[in-house]
Amino acid sequence: MKTLVTYMTQTGNTQKIAEAIFGELEGEKDIKPIGEVADLEGYDLAFIGFPVLQFDVPANVKTFISEKTAGKNIAIFMTHAVPEGTEVIHSWTGSATDAAADANVLGSFDCQGELAQPVIDMLLKMDDPQMKAFGEMGPSTKGQPDESRVQKAKEFAKEVQAKL
Ligand SMILES: Cc1cc2nc3c(=O)[nH]c(=O)nc-3n(C[C@H](O)[C@H](O)[C@H](O)COP(=O)(O)O)c2cc1C
């Protein structure tokens, strides 16, 4: 079994989760930024991760999922600023799984990720009131993903791999 962990990150949160997942995987494995992955040839399973940006999957990640995952076993992971369990997260998971319509989606994982200070400063300056509201919730995200979230990501990795 050969597994790929691929991800997009801007401030390191999604990368932290990607590395936790990677560390738990059995068998042959690779970890690469999404920009370095041409296709999923040769992989039995791919974990694909991203930060939620502007209420959706980032466009480059969505394109990757819709163009490269047909017929493949995949699992999705994402980080976001809102607390886990917030209703709107379902729509982000849905957006990723819709893009993966021709893939075999084995699971999805999400957790809170810290808003970095430069991001908070940028969001507070934006005209969009929803983005401003994110900026205001910045301090409540400090330190995420913490060790308990990293642990959950590790369990997710094992659960997904056990499905194959
Ligand atoms: C421009 C921008 C837009 C964002 N939009 C959202 C959003 O719509 N919902 C959300 O929960 N978090 C949003 N975030 C927060 C990020 O998803 C979160 O901080 C994530 O953990 C960043 O991951 P990274 O460190 O891997 O880049 C946004 C961040 C930025 C910079």
How far, in Å, is the centroid of ligand 1 from the Cα of 27?
A: 32
In a domain, 34, yes or no: yes
Atom of ligand 1 lying closest to residue 10 CA: 27
In a domain, 153, yes or no: yes
Dist. CA 71–CA 89, nearest whole Å? 25
pLDDT at 93: 97
The domain total for the chain is 1
0.95 exceeded by the pTM? yes
In a domain, 52, yes or no: yes
In a domain, 22, yes or no: yes
Q: Which domain holds residue 45?
A: 2-114+144-162
In a domain, 125, yes or no: no
Nearest CA to ligand 1 atom 28: 53
In a domain, 122, yes or no: no
Judged against a pLDDT cut of 90, whether residue 57 lies above it is answered with yes
In a domain, 135, yes or no: no
Judged against a pLDDT cut of 90, whether residue 64 lies above it is answered with yes
How far, in Å, is the centroid of ligand 1 from the Cα of 52?
A: 5
Q: How confident is the model over 91-150, as pLDDT tens digits?
A: 999 999 999 999 999 999 999 999 999 999 999 999 999 889 989 999 999 999 999 999
- CATH number where 64 lies: 3.40.50.360
Q: How confident is the model over 12-50, as pLDDT tens digits?
A: 999 999 999 999 999 999 999 999 999 999 999 999 999
Atom of ligand 1 lying closest to residue 112 CA: 21
* Residue 53 DSSP label: B
pLDDT at 124: 93
Atom of ligand 1 lying closest to residue 79 CA: 21
In a domain, 26, yes or no: yes
